[in-house]
Amino acid sequence: MNDRPNMPLPDLYRTMRRIRSFEERVAELYVRNGTAGSMLHLSIGEEGAAAGVCAALRPDDSFTTHHRSHGIFLARGADPNRMMAEIAGKSDGYCRGKGGSMHIADMALGHLGANAIVGGGIPHAVGAGLSYRRLGSGAVSVAFFGDGAMQQGVLYESMNMAALWQLPVLFVCVNNQYGMGTRIDRAAARTDFAERAEVFGLAAMNVDGENVGAVFTAAEALIASARAGRPGFLCVSCFRFYGHGRMDKSPYRSAEEEEAGRRRDPLLTARNALIERGLATTAELDAVDAEIANEMDATIEFAIAAEPPPLSAMFDDVYAPGEVRPEPMRMRLERILACT
């Protein structure tokens, strides 16, 4: 564990626990609710990346994320009730139930949106960086994505632009070793991803995501650099503890590999470090865990009790309020049939 004086390890632990606890409940939600979106990607094992990077952000910074991003948004301070409600497709969700797990967003917290297209949100962060530079806001934008997106062309176009224009942008690859069933070494001949960013002119680092302190420290340095006009790239290595989605039992990897991967547990590592350093006792941490468990239990009840959006919401938000709206099919048919 890194010993930077400003490293808030207890807070980082709490954040990571919240993520883990939330994600465990998401799996449960699906079983109990049945109505949630089918596309649920748990970020268990990746808490170090989410907590470490988000702790280094300023409130006015913004970010885009990929499909596996509950953890990142929670680390940013999301309300887990509204998140769970969104995942369940309910009206009280962040996106009124229209976006679901893969399209969650919140302008108030600078979450410019999760994305179900691998790589889709990356250039948006470049655009946000362009805005911040032009408007002189001093903010930084971060693009989070998975290792799978390392093979998407738009990443290289985006990194090139950010480097060329010296934008306040940080690219964060959450390298959980797998894109669905494909391990990184079956997706790329060379898997040192930082060097791919460096040759485009970015400040680039690889960091071990098991060590949330190291992630925080690296992110802090790269965000400062980005804020000063030298964009960065951070590859956080971690392990996807479970399958790609709900149905995936990961038959393409061995039990040994899974076990070894799950031993790289950022939560456990942080817990041990806190105790070893005398920053917390087991009992204190257990209390934190229990408190969070309670809070997260409540999110499911909240989401299940919440109302689905009314049918009328369907035609809202295609265009801005006041603009020409789509005509509902039934009305259209009514109109046509009335004439003939």
Ligand X SMILES: Cc1ncc(C[n+]2csc(CCOP(=O)(O)OP(=O)(O)O)c2C)c(N)n1
Binding site for ligand X (CB under 6 A): 41, 66-68, 116-118, 146-149, 176, 178-180, 240, 244
Q: Nearer Cβ to another protein, position 164 or 260?
A: 164
Q: Which is nearer to another protein, 74 or 285 (CB)?
A: 74
Residues 296 and 28 sit within 8 Å (Cβ to Cβ): no
Q: How many residues bind a copy of itself (CB under 8 A)?
A: 23
Choose from a copy of itself, Mg ion, another protein, none: what does 200 bind? Cβ within 5-8 Å by kind. a copy of itself
Is 64 in a helix, a strand, or coil? strand
What's the min distance (Å) between Cβ of 19 and a copy of itself? Answer: 31
Nearer to another protein (CB atom), residue 283 or residue 330: 330
Does 190 contact a copy of itself by CB under 8 A?
A: yes
Q: Which residues contact 286 (CB under 8 A, 6 or more apart)?
A: none
Out of 50, 72, 118, 270, which residue is the one contacting another protein (CB under 8 A)?
Answer: 118
Q: For residues 157 and 257, which CB has a smaller minimum distance to a copy of itself in the complex? A: 157
Q: Which does 192 bind (CB under 5 to 8 A by kind): ligand X, a copy of itself, another protein, none?
A: a copy of itself
Find tokens 């894109």 and name the residue.
Answer: 179
Number of other CB atoms surrounding residue 42 within 10 Å: 24
- End-to-end CA, the chain: 76
User: With contact defined as beta carbons under 8 Å apart, do 216 and 56 qualify?
Assistant: yes
Q: Sheet holding 62-64: strands in order across?
A: 62-64, 141-146, 169-175, 232-237, 203-208
Beta-carbon contacts of residue 183 (< 8 Å; ≥ 6 apart):
177, 253
CA–CA separation, 243 and 53 (whole Å): 24
Write the DSSP symbol of residue 170.
E
Q: How far is residue 30 CA from its own chain's centroid?
A: 19
Dihedral angle sign, alpha carbons of residues 117, 95, 35, 22? positive
User: Considering the rule CB under 8 A, would residue 136 count as an interface residue with another protein?
Assistant: no
Site string for Mg ion, 43-62 (x = CB under 5 A): --------------------
Closest distance of CB 119 from a copy of itself, Å: 9
If one asks whether residue 152 binds another protein (CB under 8 A), the answer comes out as yes
Nearest residue to the partner Mg ion, using Cβ: 146
What amino acid is encoded at 299 in this protein?
Answer: T
CA separation for the pair 155, 121 (Å, rounded): 10
Query: Which residues in the 198-257 window bind a copy of itself by CB under 8 A?
Result: 198-201
Of 8 and 127, the one with the shorter C-beta distance to a copy of itself is: 127
Angle at which helix 266-276 crosses helix 9-33, to 10 degrees, equals 140
One residue of 5, 59, 153, 321 binding a copy of itself per CB under 8 A: 153
Tokens representing 41?
């990607």
Kindly tell me which of 230 and 253 has the beta carbon lying closer to another protein: 253
> Which listed residue (117, 260, 268, 287) binds another protein by CB under 8 A?
117
Residues that bind a copy of itself (CB under 8 A): 151-157, 160, 163-164, 166, 186-190, 192, 195-196, 198-201
Residues that bind Mg ion (CB under 5 A): 146-147, 176, 178-179
